Structure 1
Amino acid sequence: MTVTIRDARSADEAAWRDLWAAYLAFYKVTVSDEITASTWGKTMNPDSAIFMRVAEVDGKLAGFALCLTHEGTWILGRDCYLEDLFVDESQRGKGIGRALLDDLVALSRENGWSRLYWHTAEDNATARKLYDSFVKSDGHVRYRISF
């Protein structure tokens, strides 16, 4: 098995949409087709702070990481926020999630970003096992108001 981590390309759209649908189903959420199209468009726009790295296994997309960089009030540089990370269910346990995270750590260092951070569902034991191997939770609780 050969895993390649790279920037998403326009030719990846159909495969990404399949993974995106599985990701949303995993979290039992729905987003409109308009939001999905907008998310894809942002990842393809070089002026957007949002970017996507994909994991390709033997020529087929097996996972993705959707991130954005932003300024912060407690740092001099930029933060990298990993908003979405997903690996196809059939490919889990093969190191693909770790490869995506390793890639983001390397990109963060290369770009001089101050921090890489993310969050996950408290009961997502599988993801938390991987995440805890990188760094322990900082103990913060997220609050969100949707409009």
Structure 2
Amino acid sequence: MTIRPFDPAEAEQLARLFEAMQAHYRVPCPTRPAIVADLRRLPPGNRILVAEADGVLAGFAAFAEIWPGPGLRKGLFLKELYVDDAHRGKGLGRGLVKALAALALAEGHSRVDWTADRSNPGLLAFYDATGARREAEKLCYRLTGEALAHLAGRES
């Protein structure tokens, strides 16, 4: 297993994993050309680590820098962590989180944050095993769709 930064030349390969992730969560997926285009022009501050196993991209961690945090320090926010079905249970997910933790420390970040689905006990056990602390006092909000348009004053 190798974990390294994503190379935009691998956009087609990584798009396959993005499609698999969307299928896994049973959510709509853009077309592959749209995914590839987005991967080739990531917004500033957004990065991806990839896990390669058996000569193929088998997982990824997509993350971004966040600021300010406690003590007005910078941190990282893990947006997506995914390992394809054929490579689960082989340490790739843990390897990606470990590599992200090492990157955070190397770059002077004070923390790594993420969210997790409360209804997925296997996922929660995986994250608990990293030594991360559940933040019970925090609640995630999402503004999307009609509510986003309404608040922005752009009702249809």
Report the TM-score, using the length of structure 1 for normalisation: 0.87
Paired residues, number:
142
Q: Is the 8 A contact 2:76 2:111 kept in 1?
A: yes
In the alignment, which residue of structure 2 is the partner of 1:21? 19
Using the alignment, how far apart are the partners of 1:12 and 1:127 within structure 2?
27
Q: Is the 8 A contact 1:42 1:50 kept in 2?
A: no
Q: Could you give the per-residue CA deviations for residues 19-47 of structure 1, whole angstroms, max 9, x where no partner exists?
A: 1001111122124348634541344x6xx
Q: In the alignment, is residue 141 of structure 1 matched against residue 139 of structure 2? A: yes
Asked which structure has the greater RCO (Cα within 8 Å, sep 6+), the reply is 1
More strand per residue: 1 or 2?
Answer: 1
Does the residue aligned with 1:94 lie in a helix, a strand or coil? coil
Alignment partner of 1:85 out of 75, 81, 88:
81
Does the residue aligned with 1:6 lie in a helix, a strand or coil? strand
Choose 1 or 2 for highest CA Rg.
2
Alignment of 1:63-74 (within 5 A): 63-72=59-68, 74=70
CA shift, 1:141, in A, is 2.1
Alignment partner of 2:101 out of 91, 100, 105:
105
Q: Give 5+ residue unaligned stretches, structure 1.
A: none
Q: In the alignment, is residue 50 of structure 1 matched against residue 46 of structure 2? A: yes
Q: Give 5+ residue unaligned stretches, structure 2.
A: 149-156
Give % identity: 30
CA shift, 1:105, in A, is 0.5
Does the residue aligned with 2:135 lie in a helix, a strand or coil? coil
Q: 1:109 to 1:35 in 2, by over 3 A?
A: same
